[in-house]
Structure formats: structure tokens, C-alpha cells
Amino acid sequence: MQNPTTLLNRIKDTRTKVQRVIMTALSATLMSALLGTAQAQTSAPMPPAMKPDPNAPSAASQEPIQNLLDREPEPLFSDNTLVPYAPASGGIQGTADGLDGGALYLMAKLTRDSQPLNDNLIWRIYSETTNADGRLQLIATSKGGDAEFRLDPGAYMIHTSYGYAQATNRIVIGKEVLSKMVTLNAGGIKFYATLPDGAPLESGPVTFDIYSREFDQRGERDLIASSVKPGSIIRLNADTYHIVSRYGDANAEIRADIQVLPGKLTEATIFHKAADITLKLVNERGGEAIANTTWSVLSPGGDVVVEATGAFPDFVLAAGEYEAVARNNGRTYLHTFTVEPGADREVEVVSSISELVSGSSRAN
């Protein structure tokens, strides 16, 4: 029979070993649970960021301003066929009939975030093969908003225009129904012209020409639109354009580079420092104009700015100093005058016989 003290010690040792095993198992279970929780939190998607308060000044100051032209180029065709197919209400364009060809349904929008355009679109479908003249053959056209075409199987070029904004895409048609959204990545520009005092030039001879910003191999810019009137809205692809505004037909001309943003209407105001000047050759101040007079207006450097013939030649001249040269009945008369911005007036050249010197007269 064992000693009671020895038996009691063995029981204590056994109890200690059991406690260690239980604690080890609990520790392992707890560690596994913690790791599992951490992995679940890592793999779970992050909750969406809260929309910042637009009225909070701190949020507005920390958010950088994004130039829309710096965004990645948008796909002209949607990657997936997201536009629901719907037969057009008008007649079907194209060459294929029935089930022998495919159906193509097209829509367009200015940007990927804007609504589809409902009018002022022009669609042109070209065959990818050229004709005898070496040009792409025009297969079908449509005007308005969305368009539907029935086409024979094959490859086609789709040209979409919205004003001067345009896009060209290639598509292969089989015997199926396709629907595509064209993203033009375009905006608009509206022109205004004023004098320095703010007086608008609405009915005057003011026009705008729109050029591409880049030069071609001949050192010239491509003319996109010409003789645009003030107040007109011109639709263009998003880009920077070179604008030339002319007031009259002489030298009153202002140039500027203007950026068109996608989906935005840019309003551009050009300030012209010029005036409308009428020339008269008279025998005395306040007298009647002498007919059959030939005129030249010279710059301070002696360059000819404009020429005309008549009793009342009328020019719009840029602000500055000029010399008027009047020729009549074999005599030449000179007169220096100044043009002030917005100060339209008559300029008289007096033909005084007493002032003739070597067949010419310098009027005061």
C-alpha cells in the first residue's frame, strides 16, 4: 500500500498536467479565432466612402481641381451592349432585308456621364472597301437622334457628327442585332464681342474663325469653322482651339486660345480696341465730300492697312495712329489721325491749294 503523502503528490502532478493541456488547447483555439477574424476583416470589401459635405470649407480646400481634359480617353464605343434594342419609328436605312443581314441600333452622348442626344446628330455608314474612285462608299445616312440600320454582314465605318464634333468607329456586322453607344467627348463654345467700355458688338461686322491649335507641315492651322457670328453656339470635340475674331475687314483682329471642355458650354468674350472711321476729302472743314477720291490708310511704319475709292470710305481700324493718303485730280493729300477704342467718327482731309507743295498737300 502506497504512502498517503506520495499518493497525494501524484494526484497534484496529474491535475497540473491536465490544467496545462486545457490551457494550451484554449490558447490555440483563441489564437485561431483571432486569426480568422483578422483574415475576414482583411478580405471583406471596404465600406464606401462617405460623400463629403460640399459646404465644409476644409473638404473643398483639400480636394484638387480636376481638368476634365486630363481624364483618360473615353471609349467611343461602349464595351458592352448596354443600349436596349428598340426598332426605330421611322423607315429602316440600309441595304439588307429581313434576316439576311444584321440590325444596328446607334445612340450618342457628349460624355460618359451625360444623357443620350435626341437631335442634331448625323449618322453616316460607309463600307470599309473603297470604290473605283478610291473613296469609301456611303451605304446609309440618318439624321436626328438615335438611328437604326439594317446592313449586310461585313465591316463598316460609322461616322457620327454633332455640329463640328465628330467621331469615327469601325464595326463588324453579322446576322445579329447590335446596339452601340457612341461617346463624342464633346462640348460647345459661345462667342461674344464687346468694346473696352462693355458695349456689345452684336450687329456690327464682327466674326469669329475657329482653327486647330496645331500647325500642319506647311506651318498653317486647319480651319474648322469660319465667319461665326456673336451669340452662336458651336459644338466641338473637347480640345483647345485657336480663335481669330475680326471686327471689320481691315486690321481690327484679336487672337486667343480657348479650351472646350467635354459636356460643358464655354462662353468666350472678345474685347476689341477699335473704332469705325469714315474718311472725307473736303475743300474746307465741314464741306461736302469730293467724289472720285482714291484712299490709302498707312500704318506708322508706312505699310498699307486698307485701300478704297469713293467719297465716304468707311473702315473699322484698330486703336492707334494712322496716315490717310487721298488722291484726287492728280493731287495727293496727307493727313495723320488717331483712332481711339470705341470712338467712331469722321476724319476730314482738307484740300487747300495754298498748302500744295510739289504737287501734294499736308492737311492740318
Q: Do the Cβ atoms of 362 and 323 come closer than 8 Å?
A: no
Q: Do the Cβ atoms of 183 and 75 come closer than 8 Å?
A: yes
Average pLDDT, the chain: 78
pLDDT at 225 over 90: yes
Mean pLDDT of all residues in 254-261: 96
Q: How confident is the model at residue 60 (pLDDT cuts 50, 70, 90)?
A: very low
State the pLDDT at residue 13. 56
213: left (phi over 0), alpha (psi -120 to 50) or beta: alpha
Q: Do the Cβ atoms of 262 and 238 come closer than 8 Å?
A: yes
C-alpha cell at 179: 446596339
pTM: 0.69
Q: How confident is the model at residue 37 (pLDDT cuts 50, 70, 90)?
A: very low
| Greater pLDDT, 236 or 134 | 236
State the pLDDT at residue 161. 97
Q: How confident is the model at residue 360 (pLDDT cuts 50, 70, 90)?
A: very low
Least confident interval from 99-113, 145-159, 253-267, 311-325: 99-113
Least confident interval from 12-21, 129-138, 293-302: 12-21
pLDDT at 349 over 80: yes
Q: How confident is the model at residue 46 (pLDDT cuts 50, 70, 90)?
A: very low
pLDDT at 264 over 80: yes
State the pLDDT at residue 306. 96
pLDDT at 21 over 50: no
DSSP 231: T
DSSP 112: T
Q: Do the Cβ atoms of 222 and 151 come closer than 8 Å?
A: no
Express as a percent the part of the chain with pLDDT over 90: 60
What is the Cα–Cα distance from 252 to 248, expressed in whole angstroms? 7
User: Mind listing the pLDDT tens digit for each residue in 163-212?
Assistant: 999 999 999 999 999 999 999 999 999 999 999 988 899 867 999 999 99
With b for 16 or more beta-carbon neighbours within 10 A and e for fewer, the 26-58 pattern comes to eeeeeeeeeeeeeeeeeeeeeeeeeeeeeeeee
How many Cα neighbours within 13 Å face the side chain of 349? 32
State the pLDDT at residue 214. 87
State the pLDDT at residue 50. 39
Question: What backbone phi and psi angles, to 5 degrees, belong to 56?
Answer: -80, 120
